[in-house]
Amino acid sequence: MADFIASMIAGIITLIICARGLYASIISFSLFDSTFKWFDAFVIVLMVVNVIGCFAVIIFVCREFFFERKRESKP
């Protein structure tokens, strides 16, 4: 149970950080010169991948936790 809670908290904190980074990158995209736009586009893609990865990890942790509880409850 403690590993489930720790994994969920870590996933949610990482998701919040990546979502804020994505938001900041999208806002700052129009502020940069053309020399930095490719880097900002790369950061936007990287943050989108991280957000999707965080959702996948949270779903995987929940699935493993509930399947483990289901296995333990079977006689």
Q: What is the pTM of this model?
A: 0.73
The predicted model gives 3-11 an average pLDDT of 84
Residue partners of 57: CB distance under 8 A and separation at least 6: 7, 11
What is the rounded CA–CA span in Å between residue 20 and residue 32?
A: 18
Q: What is the pLDDT of residue 21?
A: 85
- Segment 43-64 shows an average pLDDT of 88
What confidence score (pLDDT) does residue 75 get?
64
Residue 16: count other Cβ atoms within 10 Å of its Cβ.
Answer: 11
Structure confidence at residue 70 as a pLDDT band (50, 70, 90)? confident
Average pLDDT over residues 48-63: 89
